[in-house]
Amino acid sequence: MRVLAWLTDNTWEACVDAVRTTNSPDVTLLYVQASDVSEATHGAFSGLLGRHRPGHDPGDVVRAASAATGDAVLSAAVERLGFDCRVEHLAGAVERVVVATAADADLLVVARDGDRSRLGPRSLGHATRFVVDHAPCSVMLIWPEEAPDLGSIPPKPPHPPRR
């Protein structure tokens, strides 16, 4: 079984642990650098109408910092996984890159990345929602921390009053 794990800055540990539970030897770890943030920074810089030399473009700084973060996450993840795996470090519109990369995977491991203090639709962020909806394979959706117990479900609303 080919397992693809999508790692993000704040939830990658849980993803790696989940990959280990699948016992699959064929694992790819994926980190996608969001291009929109560095693009917007580039944009703001060009709005300054060339007041600064190109070497000062904060978009380049942001892109480099983002690449460094991705490298750090991936190398820490490889170490945590503890066996040989493939590593992909890509950039672009995150959700679309993840879905495209999952084309030849059998299982995609994804962590919930939204607001986990109020369980419901918002416990999935925008990108994760897209990936869960459009992944071309099965998706393993994991909790970055311990899964909530049944007590976290709000009580059933009372019947609406009859007229």
Partner 1 sequence: MAILLLAHLSDTEGIFRWAGAAMSRIAAGRPQRLLAVVFGVAALTTAVLSLDATVVLLTPVVFSTATLMRARPKPHVYACTHLANSASLLLPVSNLTNLLAYRTSGLSFAAFAVLMALPWLVVIGVEYAVFRRFFDTDLSSPARATQQPVGRPPVFAIVVLGGCLLGFATAGPLGVDPAIVAGAGAVVLLVRRLFVRTEPPVRTVWKAILEANPLFCLFVLALGIVVAAVSRHGLGALLAAVFPSGDSLVALLLAAAVAAVLANLVNNLPAALLLIPVAAGHPGLLLAVLLGVNVGPNLTYVGSLATLLWRRILRAREAGPAMGEFLRLGALTVPTALVAGVCALWLSLQLTGLGG
Q: Which stretches of the chain bind partner 1, using CB under 8 A?
A: 9-10, 34-37, 39-53, 56, 58, 61-62, 65-66, 69, 92-93, 96, 113-118, 122, 125-126, 144
Residue that is written with structure tokens 């983002």 in the block: 66
State the minimum distance, in angstroms, from the CB of residue 161 to partner 1: 32
Is 54 or 155 the residue whose CB approaches partner 1 more closely? 54
Is 80 or 116 the residue whose CB approaches partner 1 more closely? 116
State the minimum distance, in angstroms, from the CB of residue 13 to partner 1: 11
Cβ neighbours of 146 (radius 10 Å): 7
Q: Pairing mode, if any, of strands 86-92 and 26-34? A: parallel
**Structure token pair of residue 97:** 């890159």
State the minimum distance, in angstroms, from the CB of residue 162 to partner 1: 36
Is 9 or 26 the residue whose CB approaches partner 1 more closely? 9
Please state, in angstroms and rounded to a whole number, the distance separating the CA atoms of residues 3 and 102: 9
Is 24 or 41 the residue whose CB approaches partner 1 more closely? 41
User: Which ranges in the chain belong to alpha helices (H)?
Assistant: 12-21, 35-46, 58-81, 94-101, 126-134
For the chain, percent helix, then strand, then coil, each to nearest 5?
Answer: 45, 20, 35
State the minimum distance, in angstroms, from the CB of residue 6 to partner 1: 15
Element housing 137 (H / E): none
